[in-house]
Amino acid sequence: MKKLFTLLMLIVLTGAAAVGCGQPAEAPAASGEETYSWRFAHEEIDGSVQDFYVKKFKEVIEEKSEGRINIEIYPVGQIGDALQQAEILQNGGIEFAIVSPGNTGTVVPENQLFSLHFLFSDDMDKNAEIFKNSSALNEMLSAKYLEKNIQVLAYWTEGAMQWTSNKPVATPADWQGMKMRTMQSPMIVAAYEAYGANPTPVPYMEVYSGLQLNMIEGQENPLFAIEEMKFYEVQKYLTLASSNLFMTTTCTNPDFFNSLPADIQQMVLETVDELRPYSFEVQADLNGAALDKIKEASDIEIVELTPEQREAFQAASVAAYDRYAQVVGADGKAILDKLIEEVAEMTK
């Protein structure tokens, strides 16, 4: 059924593109007076980090191009769920999408290194440097995406992951047997199995009802998502774990991108580059405001982990690193090893 939906959307969107895209048949060096109409899909709702990011992309590139480029935005649900959006991007039915590793570990298995806990720095300035300059990400991992017909333009984060649950969680043993909701990448499941939890993937739009009906007892997300999806209404504890980063990527379809004139390609790359600091500001603002909003709106108990408690989780998370190497294989292991080396270098 899901595959059929993706196929139908692809036929509809590809048909629309043929009529409205205004793309030149061959890729000239400069774009002249050509106009462009591109579709940009993301995985979240109005007011979210991705919503802000994509609206900013639209604003910047439409202005840069003096109105010759027009961006049409599709939030989650309009052309399927996050995985279906990624599949439509692969097949050329849309030109751009925000593609999160948490949703696409079955498409690009190597991207599941982002599910590993305590991989990046707690210092977001350092992380900004890593995302921009890491060759493990921008060369090795991006090559894996390209093999699947997805071109990554930027790796970025929507903030640190925090946990909500029905039972207090301050040690790995507290996760024992808990029915934890995760996104669909298999390695996220493995990351929580390393703590003894009983994780199960559930689509984003079904998490609230799953928690409400007690079919699941806990979940991870950045604070802005916990607030805007109102998970705090149906959970008793919020643990400020910052165990890992919610990572995402700005992606394009490579065949489409390569068909663009050089000056238009350059405009896209510049826009993505200009949005790097913006992505960090937006996540900091939304996540910063969310905690106060959650406290005002509920009596959810906030648990702050001590450094020693975080160290205990870090020690337990090592099992998931071993599992990543087994599941993803030698290429994935080489990317992870290189990334660990680069993170150590850039954070010393």
Residues in contact with ligand 6CS by CB under 6 A are: 43-44, 82, 100, 103, 158, 183, 204, 221-222, 225, 246
Q: Which lies closer to ligand 6CS via its Cβ, residue 98 or residue 267? A: 98
The letter for the amino acid at 5 is: F
The letter for the amino acid at 150 is: I
Which has the closest alpha carbon to 137: 114, 160, 105, 161?
114
Least CB distance to ligand 6CS at residue 93 (A): 19
Cite the DSSP H helix spans in 181-261.
186-193, 207-212, 223-228, 254-258
Q: Which lies closer to ligand 6CS via its Cβ, residue 41 or residue 137? A: 41
Least CB distance to ligand 6CS at residue 315 (A): 26
Which has the closest alpha carbon to 155: 147, 165, 144?
144
The rounded radius of gyration (Å) of the Cα atoms in the chain is 20
Q: Which lies closer to ligand 6CS via its Cβ, residue 131 or residue 231? A: 231
Judge contact between 163 and 219, C-beta under 8 A.
yes
Q: Which lies closer to ligand 6CS via its Cβ, residue 199 or residue 222? A: 222
- Phi and psi torsions of 271, nearest 5°: -65, -45
Q: Which secondary-structure segment (H or E) carries 3? A: helix 2-20
Least CB distance to ligand 6CS at residue 188 (A): 9
Q: Which lies closer to ligand 6CS via its Cβ, residue 65 or residue 115? A: 115
Least CB distance to ligand 6CS at residue 49 (A): 7
Q: Which lies closer to ligand 6CS via its Cβ, residue 109 or residue 210? A: 210
Judge contact between 187 and 115, C-beta under 8 A.
yes
Least CB distance to ligand 6CS at residue 288 (A): 15
Judge contact between 279 and 247, C-beta under 8 A.
no
Q: Which lies closer to ligand 6CS via its Cβ, residue 286 or residue 320? A: 286
Which has the closest alpha carbon to 71: 118, 39, 48?
39
Judge contact between 5 and 85, C-beta under 8 A.
no
- The residue number with the shortest CB distance to ligand 6CS is 204
Least CB distance to ligand 6CS at residue 6 (A): 17
Least CB distance to ligand 6CS at residue 45 (A): 9
- Joined tokens for residue 146: 């390209």
Q: What is the DSSP letter of 109?
A: G
β-pairing, 162-165 with 218-221? Answer: antiparallel
The letter for the amino acid at 171 is: T
Least CB distance to ligand 6CS at residue 225 (A): 4
Q: Which lies closer to ligand 6CS via its Cβ, residue 20 or residue 77? A: 77
